[in-house]
Structure 1
Amino acid sequence: MARGKDIDGSMSVPTFYGKELRWKREEAGLSLDAFLEGSFYGKTYLSDIEHGERRMPLDLAQHADRKLGTDGFFERHCEDVRKARRGPHAAYFEKALEAEKYAESIELWSPIILPGLLQTAPYARALVRATHPAASDEWVEAKVTARIDRARLFEDDHTTPEYWAVLHESLLTDPVISPQEMAEQLCQIVELAERRRITPQIIPRTCGAYPLKAASIMVMTFPDAPPLIYTEASYSGDTIDDPALVKQYRKAYDRLRAVALSPEASLAMIKAAAEEHRNGKQRDRLE
């Protein structure tokens, strides 16, 4: 097949990469369906990559090289696309960041800090400053703005994924910001729950041993790709797509959710904690 138009090398790396993939696929005479045979991905996923809107997973890049006979080209250049997409977010979070934009469901367990998508600016700022005490104010604010911008996922005109957040009770009662700011932070979670954008559940302090006690995870499912698990620590994170491990984490998360308070009881607890912070009547953490 003749190449109708040369690809413009001045365009962004993800766009260039996507157009190169499309040209190679069409040159081989393969439809989207034919190209994807033998992979776990859907046509929408591949189309987004070809339009420069989505990164190419390593396994799909390897599939492309096998299918198109491109001698490792797409696998080698996956890293270039990843670097080109780098913004204020940590490099290890990039794959999960892009995945959450396309997720059909996001199920999260956060025992130590409130999830990034639920954070207000004061809460995010306190965490970023504590994690990077020597950073400039400009650098910190860029991080905070990038984190807050992620919450556009919950806007009315956006196709919101089903978002389920299991949180430990200590996140409600042990503030990292001023009482008034903490009240506003919790009220934001209440507002999202009442708009049916999220479903929060609380693990009480008195719960004892429970699944995933030593882990923080995010489970993401997609209409056109296999599920992903994201785990994170202070300065590192890992995205897991191994089917056996994903299944194990999935079962553990379901068991965790089963021992949490109901969504109704959890929402009532969040509202009560917000009121206590607002009125300066914070409960003793040993109660």
Structure 2
Amino acid sequence: MANGIDPSASMAALFGARVRRLRKAAGLTQAELGVLAHVVSTRITQIERASGAKPTLELARALDAALGAEDLLVELWPYVYREAFPDWSRRFMEYSERAVAIREYAAHVVPGLLQTEDYARAVLRVGRTLGGQEQLEERVSLRLGRQERLTTHDRPELWVVLDEAVLRRPIGGQVVMREQLARLLATAPESHITVQVLPFDQGEHDVMGGSLTLLTMPDGSEIAYTEGAHYGQLIEDPDEVRRFALTYDRLRAAALPPLMSLDMIRSVMEDNHRGAKVPSRSERRRLAQEQLQQSGRRQLRGGGRRVPGRRPRP
């Protein structure tokens, strides 16, 4: 037990114990290590005691370099970071990293595994738990890092059903959204990735309030995870998971086939591109005023009688 802190109490405590042991082995004081890592000595004290704010990824890298830890602290950091999330969220992330198949219905945003960097940054920027720009960049980096698993030899099968609303909501603006839609189209040649779109005209369904993910583990067991704006629920009971799996199969059956889905994504992307050329609000206001003035002149020419003008094209 280092300095009265039990390393088994939490990942933050284990991280702090490792920093303290490495610092002492290097013959450094907390103040000296702080200078090398570009932080005040009290920050080193907080880390070693697992108190205060959790270390950032940048600080973990600086400590690793200063102590010659050969990436030990950097490798520990993601587990420390996850402790900022509720237990069910951490467990879901752990299951996801081992899953051999991932089936996901997304109601509001593109799933993290398929997000572009700018889209991810726009999504994560609105998080209620966000502590600042540095934390935002760390979360973006972690999200992009998890995407690397889709390129490994043991990559999971990924099947995604997107609500049409996901395509229509211009998260991050038109340019960011266009790049994100292009990223979805780029999955077409990937045999292990399937994307479908659930169009609006399919009406109501069982998962309208949030998103649903089903994970298939290496032993064949399945886990379900439902998520709303500010909550999540991990479901491991086999009977409940089967019910969610049936719900997902219904969504998949109601969605457009993969090729038609890609056509719809392409169509929305092209519409967004054209939409970028739509006149601004001030320009539309000016055009409307001109039309009203022209209408008034037509009425005057008619001797005060209302002269029906040609209806302006929308």
Match of 1:198 among 193, 197, 202: 193
**Which of 91, 94, 98 is residue 98 of structure 1 equivalent to?**
94
- Are the aligned partners of 2:209 and 2:228 in contact in 1 as well (CA < 8 Å)? no
Q: Partner residue of 2:169?
A: 174
Q: Which structure 2 residue ranges, 5 or more long, are not aligned?
A: 1-5, 12-76, 279-314
Change (3 A) 1:225 1:134: closer
Which structure ranks higher in relative contact order (CA pairs < 8 Å, sequence separation ≥ 6)?
1
Q: What is the Cα deviation at residue 107 of structure 1? A: 0.5
Residue aligning to 1:140: 136
**1:129, 1:135 within 8 Å by CA — same for their partners in 2?**
no
Corresponding residue to 2:253 among 254, 258, 270: 258
Change (3 A) 1:84 1:197: closer
- Alpha carbons of 1:123 and 1:90: their partners in 2 closer, same or farther (altered >3 Å)? farther
Residues 225, 84 of structure 1: CA spacing in aligned structure 2 closer, same or farther, 3 A cutoff?
Answer: farther
For residue 158 of structure 1, what is the amino acid of its counterpart? H
Q: Residue type of the partner of 1:100? A: S
1:109-120 correspondence runs (5 A) = 109-120=105-116
TM, length-normalised to structure 1: 0.64
8 Å CA contact retained: 1:276, 1:282: no
Give, in angstroms, the shift of residue 134 of structure 1.
6.2
Larger radius of gyration, structure 1 or 2?
Answer: 2
* C-alpha deviation, 1:217, in angstroms: 0.8
Provide Cα deviations, 1:14-71, integer angstroms capped at 9, x if missing partner.
Answer: 9xxxxxxxxxxxxxxxxxxxxxxxxxxxxxxxxxxxxxxxxxxxxxxxxxxxxxxxxx
- For residue 294 of structure 2, what is the aligned residue in structure 1? none
Distance 1:143 1:227, change over 3 A: same
Alignment-derived partner of residue 128 in structure 1: 124
**SS of the residue 1:192 aligns to:** coil
Say whether residues 1:242 and 2:242 are aligned partners: no
> Which residue in 1 is equivalent to 2:267?
272
The number of residue pairs the alignment matches comes to 206
What are the superposed Cα offsets for residues 105-138 of structure 1, whole Å, 9 maximum, x if unpaired? 1100111111111111211111221123863100
Post-superposition Cα deviations, 1:146-187, rounded to whole Å, max 9, x if no partner, equal 1111111211x3322111101111111221112121111111
Q: 1:105 to 1:281 in 2, by over 3 A?
A: same
Letter in 2 for 1:148: L
Q: Is the 8 A contact 1:106 1:218 kept in 2?
A: yes
Task: State the shift of 1:93 in Å.
Answer: 2.0
Distance in 1 separating the partners of 2:277 and 2:113: 25
Give the % identical residues.
32
**Uncovered stretches (5+) of structure 1, i.e. residues with no partner:** 1-8, 15-82
Q: 1:220, CA displacement in angstroms? A: 0.6
Mapping 1:17-28, distance limit 5 Å: none
